[in-house]
Structure formats: C-alpha cells, structure tokens
Amino acid sequence: MVADTSLPQPQEATDAVVPAPRTRRPRAMLAWSLGLVAAFALMGLLVGLNPAAPFTQPLDDWWRALVGVSADGSIHTSAVPMFFQHLGEGPGALVGVVLVPAVLAIVGRWRSGLFFLTVTLVGPGLFSQGMKNLVDRPRPAVDETLGLFGPLFRVDHGSFPSGHAVMAGALVVGIAALIPATRRTARTLWWTVGGLILLGMVWQRTLINAHWLSDTVFGLVAGIAGALLMWWAFWPLIQRDHGRPVWFCHLGRRHQPSPA
C-alpha cells in the first residue's frame, strides 16, 4: 500500500527552522581586546621608565629622520595630511561624539548610537589622556645640528600615545561594528579603507614631527583595544539593531489593511 503524500504533514516537518540571532559575546574578541590593552599598558610602563629615551628611541629616531619635514615645505598643509589632522581634532570628535550617535538614534538604533558614543570616549578620553598624564613623554624637538624639526602644528603635553591615532583606531573599529556580518562586501570594503586610514594617520603624525613612531603605533593599539572591548560589551544590543528596520521607511505599511 502506497502512502498518500497529499495529506498534510505534521507542523514540525513543514516549517523551516529559523536560527535565532547570535547574541552570545564572542570570546575571541574579548581575548584580543584584553591582549591589546595589556600590550598598551606594558608599553606605557616601559616608556615611563625612561620617557626621554625609551628602548624604541633608535627606531623612532630613524623614522623621524626619514619621514619628518620642515615648515618650509607645503606637503604637510596639503589636502591628505590635513584630512588626518582634522580627523583627530574637533571635526573628528564632532563626527564620533555627536553626528554618528545622533543619526543612529534618529533612525531608531539608539543602542548602536550609545555604543559608538562610548567607543569615542573610552579610547581617546580614558586611554589617551590617562596615559599621557602618567608617562608625559617629550615630543620631538628641534635639532639644528642633525637638521631635525619640531611639531609643525600646535600640540598639547605628552607625546605617548598619539591621541589622533587613538581616535583613528576607535573610529575604524567602531564603524566596522555597525556593519552587519551578512554585508560581507561592505565590511571588506570598510576594512580596506580603514586600514588605509590607520596607516595614513601614522604617516601624518610623524610627517609633522608631532609624535614618535612608537607613539602612533601604540595609539592605534589603544584605540582598537578600546573599541573591541566596547564592541564585545555591547554585542547583544548591536546584534538586535542589525535586524531592526529603519522606522520611517515603514510608516506607510502601518496604514495598509492586512491580507485575509
């Protein structure tokens, strides 16, 4: 006797199983963030033992002689270097602290807005300014004998770490967290652009003699570490926002009668 396949099958057999969104925080992200924080803290300790000439000074001196320019040229005031100059100052802070969180809140993703605001405050605020006051490393100074120049723009105290580099690292990782993992092309494109931003910030801060090379590298480490740590902490909330539609794009559907 042949079974009648036209009869309705049990509900469990016909309904597709939809996997629940992943809300468990990834352990690897926490491990990376804590590892980078530890590396940044260790470097700060080593620099603090001899702020005027830490163990990286030979490499820093070589890079400064290779990249640093004088005020007589015009390359440091051209468009690309000035983009990085503004990214770590008022305009960059305006974007990270005000504009991006405000836009996210307006479109109904206030959780992501709170995350991004926290990212731009933890790294550039806590890590950067805290370490600057603890270490207080001297910035590159003028040395006429060797033909070396000091900072070409106004700077504050403390060379370690580079606050501009911290901000760059925080912004790159913070924006990456806002892109859903399902948008692989968008994420790959942003990581490529973000990598260029990180390298460009290292180049610009040493081009204008504002920082030593090690200041900028570990500035990136601090910014990335803080952003990864906040990404891990806000992970469930960010995942909820990834699947949340923009509210004003669906206003018309609320007034349409539902099909029978």
Query: At residue 116, what is the residue type?
Result: F
Q: Is the dihedral of CA 62, 133, 34, 98 positive or negative?
A: negative
Question: Residue 248 falls within a domain, yes or no?
Answer: no
3-state secondary structure of 43: helix
Question: Residue 24 falls within a domain, yes or no?
Answer: no
Question: Residue 29 falls within a domain, yes or no?
Answer: no
Question: Residue 18 falls within a domain, yes or no?
Answer: no
Nearest-angstrom CA–CA distance, 53 and 80 = 31
Query: Using omega within 30 degrees of 0 as the cis cutoff, is the peptide bond preceding 161 cis?
Result: yes
Q: What is the DSSP string of 120-152?
A: HHIIIIIIIIHHHHHH-PPPP--BTTTTB---S
Residue pointed to by tokens 């723009």: 153
pLDDT reported for residue 14: 42
pLDDT reported for residue 147: 75
Number of structural domains (the chain) is 1
Spatial CB neighbours of 26, under 8 Å, sequence gap ≥ 6: 232, 235
pLDDT per residue as tens digits for the range 96-139? 888 999 998 888 888 999 999 999 888 888 888 899 999 999 99
Q: Which domain holds residue 214?
A: 80-136+163-243
Question: Residue 252 falls within a domain, yes or no?
Answer: no
Question: Residue 118 falls within a domain, yes or no?
Answer: yes
Spatial CB neighbours of 137, under 8 Å, sequence gap ≥ 6: 47, 51, 52, 54, 158, 159, 160, 212, 215
Question: Residue 188 falls within a domain, yes or no?
Answer: yes
pLDDT reported for residue 248: 53
**3-class DSSP string for 205-222:** HHHCCCCCHHHHHHHHHH
Distances, alpha carbon 66 to alpha carbons 44, 75, 97, 238, in Å: 25, 15, 35, 43
Question: Residue 219 falls within a domain, yes or no?
Answer: yes
**What pLDDT tens digit does each residue of the chain (260 aa) get?**
455 555 555 544 444 444 445 568 899 999 999 999 999 999 999 999 999 999 999 999 999 999 988 888 788 889 999 999 999 888 888 888 889 999 988 888 889 999 999 998 888 888 888 999 999 999 998 887 777 888 888 888 889 999 999 999 999 999 999 999 889 999 999 999 999 999 999 999 999 999 999 999 999 999 999 999 999 999 999 998 886 666 555 444 544 555 54
Say if CB 226 and CB 232 are below 8 A apart.
no
Q: Is 81 left (phi over 0), alpha (psi -120 to 50) or beta?
A: alpha
pTM: 0.83
3-state secondary structure of 178: helix
Distances, alpha carbon 108 to alpha carbons 98, 150, 237, 245, in Å: 16, 47, 13, 8
Backbone dihedral angles phi then psi of residue 71, each to the nearest 5 degrees:
-75, -10
E strand residue ranges, the chain = none
Say if CB 227 and CB 173 are below 8 A apart.
yes
- Tally of CB atoms within 10 A around 46: 14
Say if CB 215 and CB 137 are below 8 A apart.
yes
